[in-house]
Every structure is written in structure tokens, then in C-alpha cells.
Amino acid sequence: MWCRPVRPARLVASTGHNRYLVRAVLREFATLLPYMKRYRLRYAVGVLFLVVTNVGQIAIPQMLKIVVDVISSGSLSSRAIVIPLLEMVRLALAVAVGRFGWRTAIFGASRRIENELRQDLYAHLLTLSSRYFSRVKTGDLMARSTNDMMNIRTASGIALVSALDGIFMTIAILIIMFGQNPRIAALTITPTPVVTVLVLGVGRILGVRFQRVQEGFSRLSEHIQEALSGVRVLKSFVREKYSLGLFERINDEYRDRNMALVRVWGLFFPLVTFLSGLTTLLLLWVGGVAVIDGTMSPGTFVAFLSYLEMLIWPMLGAGFTINVLQRGAASLGRINEVLNEKPDIVSPPSPVRVVPEATVKIAGLTYSYEGAEAPVLDEVSIDVPEGSTIGILGRTGSGKSTLLKLIPRILDPPAGTVFVGGIDVRDYELGVLRGYVGMVPQDTFLFSATVSENIAFARPGAGEEEIRAAAELSTIDRDLAGFPHGYETEVGERGVTLSGGQKQRIAISRAILANPRLLIFDDALSAVDAETEELILRRFLDLRSGRTNIIVSNRVSTLAGCDRVYVLEAGRVSASGTHRELVSAPGLYRQIHRLQSLQHETKR
């Protein structure tokens, strides 16, 4: 009884896995198609130069064949030798020019693609909300923007060259060899199919191991970034040895993953070199006999030897191409993860682009963080009339900062709960809404730039007098007199060289200089002493008279000058009124006022 042969399960799985790998690589590289299309002319010119280079390389052994045959014939003629030699020089110049041309065109295109892709990645990151950055580490994003981009550049440059080069050279060389002596050509290239099988197997292993290397690099970047950002905490708790030990473990793991990759990659080259050596050995045996028998000329033998040496590169290039493409696909997959991330806070299809008035109305706002059991804000209602200064007081965790972030849509409020200028904030274009609101956050952030540049961040074209006026209002000008370069002093990364109070006052100057229609202070004076706070507030209220302001603080003295104060407790508004009304009524506000008054009296 005839039975259909059963295909071995291992072969089926292997073939299926290779097909999956090819589809996965092509799917990831689809991201690069628009970029490569923009530089198609450069790639076309580069391929043309590459063809010139390859033709010159392939033609040189033919000139060498003529010279050797003339010499071996014994009938030496200067003309018979000089003409091929001059032709070889001409071909060598063509190869040099061609090599310069394809390197400039193709590598230039890959560098430009890397530049544009990195710019697009950065621009996309700026559209993502804080929720995304709370679950993805900065070090990992840095690794994707640097190391992964380098692999993508290589895949869009040298991988294309090695692939085209290998295909063209292999086909051309085999045609020439089989055209000149089919029997010897067939015998000498018998080891090459083994290389093909080896390349396919190694390529699959390399893809998996390189993915692990990239993940290890991300972990290493994450740890370094976190440790250096918190170096003062490490030193203050004498935890340098702990951090060093953790770094050593992560670094060793990254080394081990690299070594696992290198062992496979390192084994591939000696094997290919050994197989290419077998082809040379076969030529010396079979071709040598043919030369002795007179069925092959010495020149043809030398040309065959040259072509077999040239075939080493396509064999090595095949493995190199697969390795680079696997690396590029793995890196592109990591980039695509970010690019495919959709921002959860976006402008509506037909956004409002004008804020009619500087009012804020919060009506029945209930807000919960993802995964939280209870809402952080529960049925909160607040009115902020135009030109008024409103205060908000509450214990830590009562929802004050969350409430403020909902106004400019740093966090997204439910529809119909937060209104600016009488219009739902979700109906505004994001840039318009956020440009309308100025905010001094509780967690002050300064850039690694000068004091002057940090103050002028929201208004890059501000004049020196305006910058100094803003610095005077926040009283930071008094401290600048003792700085080594005054306003041009570099503050270091995140303002590491400054105290908490100095950073807060620079942030206040920055917000004041922007002069927004709505200014929000989120406990922005917590690191400032009472005397300085009073001076800043007096100047601030005078300057912002007639403008809308929201001030969050746990200091009653800060809120005393507000038109109305709202008290938040456990995410709900427990009381509201003027400073005098709240001090007169029982509740949290009066308790904090009495406690702080007592502390003030004790200090006196």
C-alpha cells in the first residue's frame, strides 16, 4: 500500500520558524519604507556605483589570466603584457571611485534615515502622556534612542550593500567559472551549500540572542540613569556599595548575553573560512591536475583561484547580512513599540482654538487612577472667577496636585467636569489650553542650562531686563549675587547645584515671565522660609492683580490673601470661604491655622 511520505516534524517546525522570522523581519522593516523612499535616488546612485565596483573587481582576474597565459607561453611581448596591466590599473581606479561613490550615497542615506527616525521618535515621545512615562523607564527609552538607532542605521546601510554585493558577485562569478570550465567549477564549489544551511541556522539563533543583548543594554542604561540621578541619596545613606553590587550583577549579565551572542557569531566565521579553504584545496587538486594535463590554462587556474577568494565575501556576507538584519529587526521592533503607542490625551477632531475668558469651573468631578480601588477626587466642585486668586488647602494625599493637573489636561478629566472659559477642557486644542495655563509644579524641574536660560524657558525671546524683573519678584536675584557667574551660572542636571528653595524661586520666575492668563502654584513655596514667602506673595499678588490665580499650599499664611479658599479632605471639598470665614469655623483649616500660629509664636 502506497503511503505519502511523512515530513519530519523537526524540519516542518524549522521551516515554519524560518518563515515566521522572515515575516517578522519584513513587518518590522516596513517602518523604514517611507524613509528609504525619500532617499531612493541616493540608494539608486549607490547601487549603480556598487555595480561599477563589482564589475571592476570581477574583470581584474580576467586581465590577470591574460598576463599569466602570456608569461606561461614563453613568447613574451611587452605590448601583450603592458596593455592588460594598464587595463588592470584602469579597473582598479574604477573600483576605487565606485567604492567611494556607494559608501557616500548609501551610508549617507542610512545616516539621514537614522537622524529622521530619531527625530520622529522624540517627537512622538513628546505626544505621550505622563501615564506612559510612569510605566516605561527613562534608561530604556535612552537605549532605544541610541543603541537601537545605531543598529537600524547599519541595517539600512551596510546590510543592503552586503546583500546586493553578495548576490551580484556570486551570480557573476559562478557564470564566469562555469562558462570557462563547468566540471572544475562544479567540483570546487561543492562545500558552498553547507554554508547556506549554516547561515540559515545561525541567523535564527542570532536573532533571539541579540534581542536578549538589547534588553540587557536597556537594563544597564536604566540602572545607570537612576543611580546617577539619585547619587545624593545613595551617598547620604551610604549605599554606594549596594548600588555598585547591583550594577556589577547587571553588567555581568549584559556581558554574559554578549558572550552568548559572540560565541555563535565567532563560530560562524571560522567555519565559513574552513569551508572556503576546502574550495581552494579542491581547486589545487582538480585544477592542478587539469593544468598538468593541458585541459586548463595556467591563467584560467589563477583566475579561478582569484574568484574563489572573492566568493569568500559573499559567503561571509550572507551571514553578516542575516546578523545585521536580525539586529536591525530586533531594534526596529523596540522602536516600533514606542511609535505604535497611542497618546491617550489628544486634541478633539474640531478643537476650540481660542480661550474666551480666564475662568475655571469644576463641576462634580470624580477621578480615579487606573487600577485604584477608590477615587482620588470625589464630586469636587470649584469656581474660579476671572481675575480672582483662589487657594486650596489639604493634607498630603487629599488630591490637590491631581486636581491641578486635570485643568491643563496633564491628566484627562471625565467629560463635562472641568471647564476653562466656560468650555470643556476636552474641547480645546491641547497647545492652546496648555499655553493658556502657567504652572509651577510641586516637583520643580530645572534644565541643565544657565539660570537665565531656565527663567526664559517659556519665553526664549525675553530681554535681559524682563528676566531680571522676574528674578527680582521671586527674590532669587539676592542669591545670584553670590553665584560665580550670576545669571549665566550653570545649574547642573535637574538643578543639582541649587537648594530646594532656590529651584522653586527660579521656577516661579519662569512662570511669572511667561505671564499666563491663568497661573497655578502647586505648593511652590514649600521650601522657602516664611519671611521670603511673605515678600514673594506680596509682590506676586500686586503683579497678578486682575489676573486669575490658583495657589495650593499647606501654609495658612500663604492662603490668607486669597479671595476664596477650598479645603480638600480625602478627595472631597469639606469647606470653602474666605480666610476669615474659615478661621472662624471649626474644621481642618482652623486646626492648621492654630497649629502654625503656635509654631510661629514658639519660634519667636
* 488 backbone dihedrals φ, ψ, rounded to 5°: -95, 15
pLDDT of residue 297: 86
253 burial level (CB within 10 Å; 0-12, 13-18, 19+)? middle
Q: What residues contact 403, with CB distance under 8 A and at least 6 apart?
A: 362, 365, 377, 380, 382, 392, 568
Q: What residues contact 249, with CB distance under 8 A and at least 6 apart?
A: none
Decide if 412 contacts 343 (C-beta within 8 A). Answer: no
pLDDT of residue 6: 35
pLDDT of residue 567: 95
The residue with greater pLDDT, 126 or 373, is: 126
DSSP 157-176: THHHHHHHHHHHHHHHHHHH
**CA distance linking residue 385 with residue 340, whole number of Å:** 41
pLDDT tens digits along 81-140: 888 888 889 999 999 999 999 999 999 999 999 999 999 999 999 888 888 888 888 878
Task: Name residue 457's beta-bridge partners.
Answer: none
Decide if 220 contacts 251 (C-beta within 8 A). Answer: yes
The average pLDDT across 10-25 equals 48
pLDDT of residue 106: 92
Single-letter code of the amino acid located at 220: L
Decide if 524 contacts 533 (C-beta within 8 A). Answer: no
* 49 backbone dihedrals φ, ψ, rounded to 5°: -65, -35
pLDDT tens digits along 345-368: 999 999 999 999 989 999 999 999
pLDDT of residue 389: 93
Q: What residues contact 486, with CB distance under 8 A and at least 6 apart?
A: 451, 480
The average pLDDT across 234-250 equals 83
pLDDT tens digits along 401-418: 999 999 999 999 999 999
Considering only CA atoms, which of 409, 195, 421, 418 is closest in space to residue 312?
A: 195
Other Cβ atoms within 10 Å of 119 Cβ, number: 10
Task: State how far the alpha carbon of 428 is from the alpha carbons of 413, 418, 436, in Å.
Answer: 13, 12, 11
**CA distance linking residue 329 with residue 111, whole number of Å:** 17
Q: 14: pLDDT confidence band, cut at 50, 70 and 90?
A: very low
The average pLDDT across 267-276 equals 75
The residue with greater pLDDT, 194 or 336, is: 336
Other Cβ atoms within 10 Å of 29 Cβ, number: 19
What is the DSSP-derived secondary structure letter of residue 458? S
The residue with greater pLDDT, 380 or 190, is: 380
pLDDT of residue 200: 64
pLDDT of 213 higher than 80:
yes
Return the residue matching grid coordinates 542615506: 109
pLDDT of residue 601: 61
pLDDT of residue 110: 92
pLDDT of 155 higher than 90:
no
**CA distance linking residue 554 with residue 103, whole number of Å:** 64
Q: Which domains does the chain have, with CATH numbers?
A: 27-339 (1.20.1560.10), 360-603 (3.40.50.300)
- Report the percent of the chain where pLDDT is more than 90: 31
Beginning with the edge strand found earlier in the chain, give each strand of the sheet holding 377-384 in spatial order: 377-384, 360-367, 418-420, 423-424
- Report the percent of the chain where pLDDT is more than 70: 91
**CA distance linking residue 84 with residue 67, whole number of Å:** 7
Mean pLDDT of the chain: 84
pLDDT of residue 109: 93
How far from the centroid of its chain's Cα atoms is residue 113's Cα? 14
Min mean pLDDT across 6-10, 117-121, 240-244, 310-314 is at: 6-10
pLDDT tens digits along 549-593: 999 988 888 898 899 999 999 999 999 999 999 999 999 999 998
